[in-house]
Structures are given as C-alpha cells and as structure tokens.
Amino acid sequence: LKKKFKSLFGEELEVVRTHQQQENLKFLAHFRKKFIIHQGKRKRLKGQDSNRVEFYHLRSNGSALCTRLIQIPADATLLNSAFCYILNVPFNNDDETGIVYVWVGSNADAEESRLIQEVAEEMFNNPWISLQVLSEGEEPDNFFWVALGGRKPYDTDADYMNYTRLFRCSNEKGYFTISEKCTDFCQDDLADDDIMILDNGDQVFLWLGTRCSEVEIKLAYKSAQVYIQHLRVKQPERPR
C-alpha cells in the first residue's frame, strides 16, 4: 500500500505508519471522536459468526480526541458504571435484524452518553434493528444479560483513570532520563529494553524489560521511591 501511494504522489506524500491503539492526535482528529476498532477480519464467509453478539466499549483517556469505540468480549464483568457501551444482539442468524442496546453507566459522562447514542444510530441505521437506550439498572433479562453470558458483578467506578500515569526510564541517550507517556497509553507502550513506572492511583509498579541494564534498574528503583515520597506530599489522601 505504501509503494502504491508513493507511485501516485511521489515525494509530495509523507507516509506515516501507525499501529493499533498507538494512533497520534493528528490521526484521531480526522475521525471526530468516532474512531471504531472491530475484532476479527474485515471479510467473513457467509453464515460464519453471523449470529455473534457484538459488544463495544467507548472510552477516552486523557483527551476527547483520544475517544475510541473498541469491540471487546461480550462478558458482563467488563461493564463499568463509569462508561458507556453498545451491545448488538442479532436475531435468527441474521445480521440484518436484532436489538441494539446503548448502555449508559450511572457514573458515565453526559457527553459520552450523547456521543455513543449518535455512533450507535450511524452504525446500525437499519429499520429492522431496534435501538434501545438503557440507563444502568434498567436492563431486560431476556436479551441483554443473556447476550453477556448472564448477570455478573462488575466495577462501579473508574476513579483510577484520574490518577493513572506511566513513565519510561531509559539511558539510551547516554544518560538516565524519565519521560511520561501520554495519558492514552496501553500495553504496547511497554519496551523490553527499558523500565516503566506505572502508578494506578493505589500502587506504584516497577516493570523491568528483559533487556534493561542493572544501572537502569537501580536508578529506576530510586526514582520510584522519590516519586512515592512526592505523592505523599502532593496527594496525602491517596497514599501509595
């Protein structure tokens, strides 16, 4: 694909490769908070998984531009009162008919609630599909919970997102440095030749890459201790 665009536009076109959930803000800005990530392959054989339930989670870490609608396993334990979700339940092995639930958590952001309803209407714009908006606690037993594998306990808050931070410790420049990753980070940000400091709001973790040096380990450990001491002054109500 890169060669094709190069042949069409020559040196006038800058081709930037980006990986899933590593998209920069310039890339995400084109989707206007409606960036959707589906599971599986684009093309499915006719009848293959045609009756599968689809479950989507809307989240925006750190910035509204980082909003993503990500397909996740259909499991009730993945619900969280602080977020909004879309649940697509097809009928009779047919993708063209069914019920789509928009689930709004009791602690969800009002703007995200409005946005996910708008996205659901665009995704499932079909007269044969019924779209229902559910506030937490209004779920019907017949389709909603059955599609999610039954009613199960789930988290009721995501307060940790207000405190979670990830730092990269490295000496690749010849001296030891610590840099904070963007707030919208994921597992792919872990580098096996570095050390990462993860603060989840309750605990501080020191993640050691398989190729990090002993010097990096000692300096990162000391840095984590200094960071915790700083938080005891900055956030005395949340000791780590």
- Its CATH architecture, for the domain 14-158, is 3-Layer(aba) Sandwich (3.40)
Strand-strand pairing, 165-170 and 177-180: antiparallel
Across the range 133-147, mean pLDDT stands at 92
Tokens found for residue 4: 């094709």
d(CA 205, CA 237): 19
pLDDT(114) > 90: yes
Residue 173 pLDDT: 83
**Domain 163-234 class?**
alpha beta
- Domain pair 14-158 / 163-234, same fold: yes
What residue has token string 């980006």?
18
Structural tokens at position 231? 């938080």
Domain-by-domain residue ranges, the chain?
Answer: 14-158, 163-234
Q: How confident is the model at residue 167 (pLDDT cuts 50, 70, 90)?
A: very high
Mean pLDDT of 220-240: 93
- Of the pLDDT bands very low, low, confident and very high (cuts 50, 70, 90), residue 164 is confident
Residue 138's pLDDT is 94
Closest CA to 29 of 62, 64, 58: 64
What is the per-residue pLDDT for 48?
Answer: 57
Q: What is the average per-residue pLDDT within 58-75? A: 85
**pLDDT tens track for 183-203:** 667 787 888 889 999 998 899
**Amino acid 233: pLDDT:** 92
pLDDT of res. 122? 94
pLDDT at position 22: 73
- Residue 198 near residue 220 (C-beta atoms within 8 A): no
pLDDT at 198: 95
Average model confidence (pLDDT) across the chain: 87
